[in-house]
Structure 1
């Protein structure tokens, strides 16, 4: 059992709900995010409901790459052993390219890929030292194709994360390493990042959506589309349909 889990971007949305559901499974948690006041509230909630678990909090802006290595190292020192690290922190700001919104597209790309690269590097340093661990990256179903409008930078950053995770897995396979990887590609799950989006097909509420994510993570699937219905079918079609037929998803 993966007893001790680090989750980045844990102050809200999918990260906070994953913390709740892993706490219900009796896991110790290292939670980090920029907004520590929200983390404090979450910690109180979890420790009240599940007094047998340990919850540790740390402030972390994942775009401060030196801080990523430092914070992960502090969690390792505090817990002694880290079983799973979930690279969840992400951003969805942005707009159509060429419309003056470069700074937001750039921040989205940096947060979703470069910062994720730093988190994966820091996680793997810990796992290599331990010779065990489970690295989980949270991508998106939008990673499967180029997406229009505000999703263009976001989808491409998540596609890079999918390839990064697979490259790490290839390297671990080459080494016959016991370290495991999983890349989770959620469909449309309601969270703060998309709370203002209306009329989105197949939108799933946060709790059941995250439940499907946690189930896939616990099974340590190499790659998972969640919730499985309808997103396994959507993923199959996205990979094969002409680009024009995918535009409505953007």
Structure 2
């Protein structure tokens, strides 16, 4: 099945903008959301110039404004004549060691990455249940595989929540026309995640995005990307002694 009409949140930069470019190359129609509307307008102009046969709709959206999320999704659904796939991508990477006086950073990360992802999933699933078809994609992280120490603790916990949400929905909806995929990227060179990882494991943005889009198109329940080395590391990380994990702080 070709998912022609795709909504992507957090599409103004990084992985979201990269996925928009990749799907545009495939001739898909796009609904793009983010807080920075000026970036979305520039991306829309770029995509239409390169691919004049597609439709690109944009809306400013702060996913932490949970009452606005379903309103914007419905507006974009109406503009595109339906939604076949929603990619819940918006997220932040703030963080501090818990108990060091920066609760604001950790609470913001937990809210945007998990609670707001849940709000987006609610809006998308409402549409898909009404349509009786659709593909929900949750962008999690390889940090969800195991709790991480230090300033990464809240981020890893928030992404573990996203992965658990995707797993629960995939179990519930198995055998139905509504598919759910959780994508767990490793270190990919973006403004946010590129700073967080070992440079030896850092994938270029184009390679990382291509692997993400390929995984999304396969519509499996869960994917670690790029597949090498993250599929192997995903199996190994839960087995590592805590002393080794402590070095990741």
Q: TM exceeds 0.5? A: yes
Q: What displacement does 1:247 show?
A: 2.8
Instruction: Give per-residue Cα distances to partners, 1:176-210, cap 9 Å, x unaligned.
Output: 42100000000000111134447433011111111
Q: What displacement does 1:242 show?
A: 1.7
The aligned counterpart of 1:34 is 35
Looking at structure 2, the residues matched to 225 and 195 of structure 1 have their Cα atoms a distance apart, in angstroms, of: 17
Name the SS of the counterpart of 1:5 in structure 2: strand
For structure 2, the 5+ residue unaligned runs are none
Looking at structure 2, the residues matched to 219 and 150 of structure 1 have their Cα atoms a distance apart, in angstroms, of: 34
Instruction: Give per-residue Cα distances to partners, 1:37-64, cap 9 Å, x unaligned.
Output: 1001100110000000000000000000
Change (3 A) 1:217 1:198: closer
The aligned counterpart of 1:206 is 205
Change (3 A) 1:54 1:103: same
Q: What displacement does 1:232 show?
A: 0.8
Question: C-alpha root-mean-square deviation of aligned residues, in Å?
Answer: 1.2
The aligned counterpart of 1:192 is 191
Q: Which residues in structure 2 correspond to 1:36-51 (within 5 Å)?
A: 36-51=37-52
Instruction: Give per-residue Cα distances to partners, 1:1-31, cap 9 Å, x unaligned.
Output: 0000000000000000000000000000000
For structure 1, the 5+ residue unaligned runs are none
Instruction: Give per-residue Cα distances to partners, 1:125-171, cap 9 Å, x unaligned.
Output: 00001110000000000001110111100000000000011111122
Equivalenced residue count is: 248
Q: TM-score, normalised by structure 2?
A: 0.97
Q: Which residues in structure 2 correspond to 1:106-185 (within 5 Å)?
A: 106-173=107-174, 176-185=175-184
Q: Is the 8 A contact 2:188 2:202 kept in 1?
A: yes
Looking at structure 1, the residues matched to 197 and 239 of structure 2 have their Cα atoms a distance apart, in angstroms, of: 26
Change (3 A) 1:243 1:131: same
Q: What displacement does 1:172 show?
A: 1.3
Q: Is the 8 A contact 2:187 2:196 kept in 1?
A: no
Looking at structure 2, the residues matched to 12 and 138 of structure 1 have their Cα atoms a distance apart, in angstroms, of: 15
Change (3 A) 1:246 1:200: farther
